[in-house]
Amino acid sequence: MEFFIDTASIEEITIAQEQGLIDGVTTNPTLLSREGIDWRVRAQEILEVVKGPVSLEVVAEDAPGMIAQAHDLKKIGDNVVVKIPMTPEGLKAIKALSDEGIDTNVTLVFSSLQALLAAKAGGAYVSPFIGRLDAIGSSGMNLVEEIRTIYDNYGYSTKILVASVRHPMHVLDAALIGADVATVPFAVLQQFVHHPLTDKGLASFLGDWHKLTGGNW
């Protein structure tokens, strides 16, 4: 399973990259707006650090506008994946960009039929927003399961990119279902690292080492 980091913070991206945790990055207008810096400058900074797929989102609402913004985004870096919202105009843009060989990430997906349309239009990634579904009392993980079944039934190669992740169990469940990618906020990624028994075991080993050597090497 691939991990992307869901952030526009260069600090978080750099740490996660140094830890060897991430294969790519997803951003959105909200994440970029939190950074208080020109979005193009930040996009360039991210693309200097990350060689894997980096999702940058269009904000036009009509297909020609989305396509023009997609071309603009691709000029920033070859590894840009263009994030397009699941709308009727978005589908037109996804189809046209896919015909041109430009990878898209179909965002704001909340139903398995929307995911089927994303694959039919040629999206490279589909992003079901599971945390936002859980928050309204609907199961985000059922959605991931349904999408996996539909894509496997028909051999669609669109990658399932689990988004709106809120806690480690979302990632574990998505991995068990066979989702291709999870895009994970920095804080949740760091939660994976820690286990109380690791901390306890390390404290005990270091205590014993201190008894043995007085703390010297």
Question: Which residues are annotated as catalytic?
Answer: 83
Closest distance to ligand E4P from the beta carbon of 28 (Å)? 4
177-191 core/surface letters (b: 16 or more CB in 10 A; e: else): bebbbbbbbbebbee
Options 8-16, 32-40, 66-74, 125-133: segment touching ligand E4P (CB under 6 A): 125-133
The only residue of 5, 9, 13, 28 in contact with ligand E4P, by rule CB under 6 A: 28
Q: Which is nearer to ligand E4P, 81 or 96 (CB)?
A: 81
Which residues on adjacent β-strands are paired with residue 109? 128
The only residue of 12, 16, 25, 26 in contact with ligand E4P, by rule CB under 6 A: 26
Structure-block tokens of residue 122: 């040629």
Closest distance to ligand E4P from the beta carbon of 31 (Å)? 6
Per CB under 6 A, 114 contacts ligand E4P? no
The only residue of 6, 103, 145, 146 in contact with ligand E4P, by rule CB under 6 A: 6
Element housing 122 (H / E): none
Q: Are 97 and 104 in contact (CB under 8 A)?
A: yes
Question: How far is residue 171's CA from residue 184's CA, in Å, rounded to a whole number?
Answer: 8
Taking alpha carbons only, the member of 150, 207, 157, 162 closest to residue 26 is 162
Site string for ligand E4P, 188-217 (x = CB under 6 A): ------------------------------
Per CB under 6 A, 12 contacts ligand E4P? no
The only residue of 56, 128, 183, 186 in contact with ligand E4P, by rule CB under 6 A: 183
* Interacting positions 58-97 with ligand E4P (CB under 6 A): none
The only residue of 129, 151, 156, 186 in contact with ligand E4P, by rule CB under 6 A: 129
Q: Are 10 and 49 in contact (CB under 8 A)?
A: yes
Amino acid present at 142: N
Q: Are 97 and 67 in contact (CB under 8 A)?
A: yes
